[in-house]
A and B are shown apart, each in its own frame.
Chain A
Amino acid sequence: MFKHHEMEINMGPQHPSTHGVLRLKLTLDGENITSCRPVIGYLHRGVEKICENKTFHQGQVWTDRMDYCSAVANNLGWAEATEKLLGITVPRRARYIRTMLNEYNRIASHLLWLATHALDIGAMTVFLYAFREREAILDLFELFCGSRLTTTALRIGGLRDDLPPGFEKKAYAFIETFNACVDEYETLLTENRIWKKRTVGVAKIGAEACLAMGVTGPVLRAAGVAHDIRKAFPYAAYDEMEFEVPTRTEADTYARYEVRLEEMRQSAHIIRQCLDKMPEGPVMAKIPKVLKSEVNEVYHATEAPKGEIGYYLVSEKGGTNPYRFHVRAPGFVNLQALPQMVQGALIADVIAAIGTLDVVLGEIDR
């Protein structure tokens, strides 16, 4: 009379907590997940193909729109990859400002992650606390380049403009108070019993599995591998900065939470160093009107807030646009870990797992 019956349920593409248009095909045995299959592509715009038909300057605008929560990090990767391809050396002041903006962006991205992750798990107040500080960062971006989200703050060869008057004062004011703000988020979550119950031991993915799948960023560092491209292959001005790469060994959602919070503190530390040691000089290298590539191909990886973002550009010598362009998007690679993370878990854990991977579908689908 009664028979065992598994239910297939469709989570997304329209669901409050799939962070955009991620779709998961879940097979449920009661509330337990027996299989999970991510379906992506709902936000595919063909960024890579479009960029192949644009000049290098034009292509940069498209990189903003991949991971729209960390536009500067995407810009930086593109700008540096192109500079490698074209053989341009960037002035030191521009590298410092880039580093600073990149770290501001990392904080903004992590704040957005914290806000939505906590909201997914049910702590709605953290959302607004985190957005309060994110707002201040977006104001800084607006002051610097006029836009808030898709900034296109950088230019190939440096920056369009130097820092506007009053920027440094506001930038200092932010980092003066920011560590206290992180402490405030911690008062709401870190020792909260329910938060710990929902995150400790949930959505585990160990170092070996991470390395096998190419998972990078905070997810990898929370599994105990201290891999950070800012340290391993320094770019921009990171070789002159002093900072730590926070790691944990638990490899669960709580460890990733701790890693990301610590990263925010380290970012604030880097920003302070940038502001303190800011060199004088030009912010733009001398570049020709029409950019022509010097070498045939280049792969340049940078540490985006979500993990390693790699730009692979192929061009012929003297070409004005890339012949082939490929992005190694951290979100896309990290999402592979999701089915393994949620195997046998409950529905509520899937939400926690999506949140802790910090996926942005604009980047995954490109």
Chain B
Amino acid sequence: MTPDMTLTQTLVIALLQAIAVILLIFIIVPLTIFAERKVLGFLQQRLGATRVAGGHVGITGFMNKRMWGMGKLPFLSYWRGIPMLVADVLKLFIKEDIVPTKADKWVFLFSPALSMIAAITVFAAVSFYPGALFHFPKAFPLIGGLPFNGVLADVNAGLLLILGIASVGVYGIVLGGWASNSKYPLLGGLRSAAQIVSYEVPLTLSLLAPVVLAGTLNFNDLTRRLATELPIWAVLPMIVGFLIYLTCGFAECNRVPFDMPEAETELVAGFHTEYAGIRFALFYLAEYINMMVAAAIASAFFLGGPFLAPFGLHKFLVGVPFLGAPNALFMVAKVIFVLFVFIWVRGTIPRYRYDQIMAVGWKYLIPLTLVNLLAAAAIRFAC
């Protein structure tokens, strides 16, 4: 709340921003899922989703026919699988919501929501653009002329907020696995508890290096200082930090090669084995939203966010027209790139074993991040 706004105005704008963020999530997440199918298809020499199953009747049948007509054009034919997203969501909504008889009912019902809430709330502190994206026209009642910022909650300890809320999400997984009262979900839940708690440490430590270099926790200030005010030597800890952060990001989002909690071929479906319908969908969505958060943080802190050049090299570009100015499109492009890396890695490498994941985290990543942090501190001290 800036001093020139009343409380009502602040709340109305915050509400509008919240709606915008949620809409953004629910547009981007399905597109990520579609992209995952298509990119994996590309990596594996197949087409990916090209149609909706379900013949020529009903909603999906209608979509199929329309998309098939469009598909005669060469470019559009690639997008014929798009209705699949609608069909997926429909299916998950319509399916019966089964609760196992011996499950701990309330915990079982609540834990997907917990995962989802944690995942969405994190977005409040993620900034896509420093400052106002646009101003409401003067003609608007109540909020006319006020700015619509690129971040919902511009708090001073933004990074701390993100890390804190993100770590609540693991409760959803652990409790979901435990409440199912079944053996495979239990193993999945335990694995995930151990894994996420272990990887939280190097993840946070790898983010501390940029924080030390920039000297602030505010998301916007961090992004700006990291992009434009770093000494040239800071490139090294930034690159190392980026690689470590990305690795931990895979682990935090339960993605290959660290998809232990699910480990499809070992634990059937891990912690969500007993979940069906929309509750399963909540877990699924939460995973993808977490991926987006990880991608957003990686691009904001290490790749320069809305500033074009990555790893703090942007200061050489300041003053250049268009490329030198911050632009939300740069941020979006970087997020998309990091998401692509997530999918790319999934298509390329196998899965670690549980004990090996722990070894990687504790024996290699944590010492490496500590050294990196020291290097960052030394650079900060020297320059």
List the interface of chain A (C-beta within 8 A of B).
7, 9-10, 15-17, 31, 118-125, 127-129, 132, 188-189, 192, 194-195, 197-198, 346-349, 351
Contacts and interface: CB of A to CB of B under 8 A. Distances in A.
B257 A122 contact: yes
A125 B348 contact: yes
B2 interface: no
A219 to B, nearest CB: 21
B180 to A, nearest CB: 14
A16 B269 CA distance: 9
Contacts of A351: 265-266
Main secondary structure of the interface of B (DSSP, over half): helix
A192 B353 contact: no
Contacts of A188: 348
Given A17-B265, A194-B257, A348-B266, A123 B44 contact: no
A125 B40 CA distance: 8
Given A9-B184, A194-B352, 20 more contacts: A7-B183, A31-B187, A31-B191, A122-B256, A122-B257, A122-B265, A123-B349, A125-B347, A128-B44, A128-B45, A128-B46, A129-B44, A194-B257, A194-B349, A195-B350, A197-B353, A346-B354, A346-B355, A347-B266, A347-B267
B77 interface: no
Given A17-B265, A119-B265, A124 B44 contact: yes
B43 interface: yes
Contacts of A198: 350-353, 356
The interface size bin for chain B is: 20 to 34
Contacts of A127: 44
A329 to B, nearest CB: 25
Given A194-B349, A346-B355, A122 B259 contact: yes
A16 B353 contact: no
A125 B257 CA distance: 13
A306 to B, nearest CB: 21
B264 interface: yes
B268 interface: yes
Contacts of A9: 183-184, 187
27 contacts: A9-B183, A10-B183, A16-B265, A17-B266, A122-B349, A122-B350, A122-B351, A123-B349, A125-B40, A127-B44, A128-B46, A132-B45, A188-B348, A192-B349, A192-B350, A194-B349, A194-B350, A195-B349, A197-B352, A198-B353, A198-B356, A346-B354, A347-B266, A347-B354, A348-B351, A349-B353, A351-B266
B187 A347 contact: yes
